[in-house]
Amino acid sequence: MISTLFHVTPAKAWFESDGPLHPESIDEVGYVHCSFAYQVRDVLRRYYAPDDRVVVLEIDVSRLSAPVHLEPGAGGEVDDAGVPELFPHIFGKIDRDAVRRAHPRDRFAPLEVELNGALAGYRLSDDRSRFDTDAAVRYLREESYWAKGRPREVIVASFAASWLVGAYAPDGTLAGMARAVSDWSTMWYLADLFVFPPHRERGLASAILRAFVNDSRLEPLSGFLLTADAHELYERFGFSQTPEVQRRFMRRPRKESDQ
């Protein structure tokens, strides 16, 4: 069930109106363009200039009077498998009391970090146009202990539904990655953190992890992960295996056919 949506709108249109928001797209195509949280950064990058004065509305779907449907994006966006990317559309006005808050666009600024010290020349980025899907899928399917043998289409679909951060070597090739799955309100789950062997022993895994735990959207939320051998790394960033967690945390494994 969809609980939270985001809509980018001119700041003037939001702050100078008192009633429901009626974007021009309702008259043009019959609905309001919206995004999930992990899609907002790409929408801002793709459709808005850096100096456009916009805000990002966080919308409580349960308080909308108009229906919401998932449909392919108007820009013809596709995921790494060539499947049309689905975006939520509101088929009517945005009720003002459905808007939890209006975020400044800076909160969703694209992640672009130049690393230094032993990692000088490396970069972190969530720009999906740079991401080498083939290299990441190959590692996960063939080398990782947690996703070995997993079908390519399952891995690609998991990328499409996550906030994906890539680490890039000085020559621009993919050096590592991680992704987060979240409801962006209460919790987030870290998955698929790895660094390719030639780039290990430099602190790159820590740099990737730091990008997630320091993100302003995730920092207030509870974070979860599963690991077999990297407890010391994650403990340095506040993750713990307390008796309470061990007693309360439960897991339902995937069916064998879904591996």
Residue 123 and residue 168 in contact, taking contact as beta carbons nearer than 8 Å: yes
Give CA–CA dist 195/136, Å, rounded: 10
Count of residues in the chain: 259
Instruction: Report the relative pairing of strands 222-224 and 187-195 from DSSP bridges.
Output: parallel
| The pLDDT value given to residue 81 | 60
Q: How far apart are CA 152 and CA 79, in angstroms?
A: 13
Domain containing residue 143: CATH number = 3.40.630.30
Range of the domain at 121: 111-258
**Could you tell me what percent of the chain has a pLDDT over 90?**
69
**What are the helix (H) ranges across the chain?**
11-15, 24-29, 37-47, 133-142, 152-160, 204-213, 231-235, 243-248
End-of-domain residue from the set 87, 107, 127:
107
- Same domain assignment for residues 103 and 15: yes
What is the C-alpha separation between 130 and 174, in angstroms, rounded?
9
Looking at 107, 137, 155, the residue that finishes a domain is: 107
How far apart are the C-alpha atoms of 38 and 175, rounded to whole Å? 22
Shared domain for 224 and 116, answered yes or no, is yes
DSSP symbol at 30: S
User: Based on the domain organization, do 166 and 64 belong to the same domain?
Assistant: no
Residue 259 has pLDDT above 50, yes or no: no
Contacts of 158 (CB under 8 A, 6+ apart): 179, 191, 192
Res. 36: pLDDT tops 60 = yes
- The per-residue pLDDT for range 98-113, each reduced to its tens digit, is 999 999 998 888 899 9
Q: Specify whether 151 is located in the same domain as 202.
A: yes
Give the Cα separation of 125 and 168 in Å (integer): 8
More confident residue, 170 or 184: 170
- Asked if 147 contacts 140 with a C-beta cutoff of 8 angstroms, the reply is yes
Domain check: are 69 and 134 in the same one? Answer: no
Judge if 182 and 100 occupy the same domain: no
Residue 45 predicted with pLDDT over 60:
yes
Q: Locate 200 and state its tokens.
A: 């290990």
Q: Output the pLDDT for position 212.
A: 96
55 lies in the same domain as 142: no
The pLDDT confidence band at residue 126, using thresholds 50, 70 and 90, is very high
- pLDDT per residue over 142-183, tens digit each? 999 999 999 999 999 899 889 999 999 999 999 999 999 998
Q: What does pLDDT average to over the chain? A: 91
Average pLDDT value for residue range 203-229: 93
Rg of the chain's alpha carbons, rounded to an integer? 20
124 and 103, same structural domain? no
Q: Give the CATH number of the domain where residue 94 resides.
A: 3.20.170.20
Smallest Cα–Cα separation from 155: which of 117, 124, 194? 194
Mean pLDDT, range 232-254, rounded to an integer: 85
Burial (CB < 10 A; 0-12, 13-18, 19+), residue 197, is exposed
